[in-house]
Amino acid sequence: MKFDTLVLGAGMVGVSIAAHLQQRGLSVALVDRKAPGNETSFGNAGLIQREGVYPYAFPREFSKLLGYASNRSLDVRYHPAAMPKLAPFLYRYWYNSEPSRHAAIARSYATLIERSVSEHQALAQAAGAAALLRPTGWVRVFRTPERLSQEVRTAEQWQREFGVTFDALDAPALHALEPDLAATLVGGVRFPQSHSVNDPNALVTAYARYFEQLGGRFVHGDALTLAPQWRVSTDDGVLEARSVVIALGPWSERVSGALGYRLPLGIKRGYHMHYRPERNAKLGQPVLDVESGYLLAPMARGIRLTTGVELALLDEPKTPDQLAAVEPIARKLFPLGERVDAEPWMGQRPCTADMLPIIGPAPRHQDLWFAFGHAHHGLTLGPVTGRLIADMVTGAAPFVDPRPFRVDRF
């Protein structure tokens, strides 16, 4: 079976790429071991973060680093046995998080982020899934006036630099907006430009269905069998194509590494659990408890609690200690009832050391393309990446400057 392009990976990024390429008239096969949207894209906060112009930096304050070293922090945990292998990546991550470097990174990152909502809207409209995008915005809440003031200053900076809009909420305004949150909160900062999704898997599935309606084909297969120039083994036999896009999220390094590319990719793991709200309590938008490092989001399945970061090696067993640590705190913030899921879900975010995704052609192989390393913003940046890759693969003028995201920057 022959195609113009193989897209390896059926998360939000891979499905968006496949749909955009199929829109351009290419014949595309989308290959994954699982159905679309059933790995990292399945469990997240459901946010399309228009405000996320500054990617998440590595902490620089000595007091924070000392607190993380104890491995009891609510927002960041790590596997001690993984640290020797992760140390080079973490050092580069820390280096690039220096404020002036971080600001330069943000200027490149913003070119993707500022198009995130509009590109989702365009793809969702074409896929008949516009109702899944909700213009709710989201809010970061605080327990201390000092942290609230600091967040307002940061939001003011984002507004000056990148046109990010925000609402500074005092306690009465916050509780008028979300009356079932704890009365002890002193206020929050809301970002109204961002959208939310109450079922991320349903959105990925809708985009995949649209891809198939355009004539694309989804096939279960093993991306690790990829061989030049280009073929991959699947349940339906060997597929061949002129070009291939690696969009395997955290597993991308295994396939790119087999082709000789050594990229500074690290893994940030996260967990989620769903709860039934008590006493008919309502949550209208995602809410981040900044000082405790977790997020609550209204989902189709219930209220989703998502944890912060766990640093570990790829495919290590689950260790949902963070979830157990923050659940009692979350119950005081919002009236969570019984757990809905039988066990915590775990996902693995692919992160580069300079916080920018890798999007573009491989330097040593013809017709090989990379699209991974989106860290916390895979859901946010899927359609943007899809359009940018489609521009480059088809020879169109890229609608975003792709140079900051090229693979040979490492």
- What's the confidence (pLDDT) of residue 223? 96
- Res. 66: pLDDT tops 90: no
- What's the confidence (pLDDT) of residue 395? 97
Helix 116-127 vs helix 12-23: angle between axes, to the nearest 10 degrees?
Answer: 70
What is the band of 84 on the pLDDT scale with cuts at 50, 70, 90?
very high
- What's the confidence (pLDDT) of residue 264? 87
Closest CA to 272 of 31, 43, 32, 60: 43
- What's the confidence (pLDDT) of residue 63? 84
- Res. 353: pLDDT tops 90: yes
- What's the confidence (pLDDT) of residue 210? 98
Tens-place pLDDT, residues 102-145:
999 999 999 999 999 999 999 999 999 999 999 999 999 999 99
* Torsion angle (degrees, nearest 10) of CA 352, 353, 355, 356: -60
Which residue type is seen at 341? D
Answer yes or no: are the C-beta atoms of 32 and 7 closer than 8 Å: no
- What's the confidence (pLDDT) of residue 137? 97
- What's the confidence (pLDDT) of residue 65? 87
Show me where the domains of the chain are located.
2-44+201-263+354-409, 63-94+128-196+265-352
Dmax over Cα atoms in the chain, in whole Å? 62
Q: What is the DSSP letter of 370?
A: E
- Exposure of 230 by Cβ count < 10 A (0-12 exposed, 13-18 middle, 19+ buried)? buried
Closest CA to 6 of 234, 206, 244, 225: 244
- Res. 148: pLDDT tops 90: yes
- What's the confidence (pLDDT) of residue 251? 96
Average pLDDT (43-54) is 95
- Hey, how many other C-beta atoms are within 10 angstroms of the C-beta on 234? 20
Length in residues, the chain: 410
Q: How does the average pLDDT of the chain come out, rounded?
A: 96
The tokens for 214 are 């355009």
Q: What kind and span of H or E run contains 394?
A: helix 378-394
Average pLDDT (391-398) is 98
- Res. 60: pLDDT tops 90: no
Superfamily of domain 63-94+128-196+265-352 in CATH is: D-Amino Acid Oxidase, subunit A, domain 2 (3.30.9.10)
- Res. 62: pLDDT tops 90: no
Tens-place pLDDT, residues 226-270:
999 899 999 999 999 999 999 999 999 999 999 999 998 999 999
Which residue type is seen at 333? L
- Res. 61: pLDDT tops 90: no
Q: What topology is assigned to 2-44+201-263+354-409 in CATH?
A: FAD/NAD(P)-binding domain (3.50.50)
What is the band of 67 on the pLDDT scale with cuts at 50, 70, 90?
confident
- What's the confidence (pLDDT) of residue 386? 98
Tens-place pLDDT, residues 191-235:
999 999 999 999 999 999 999 999 999 999 999 999 998 999 999
Residue with tokens 């195609």: 3
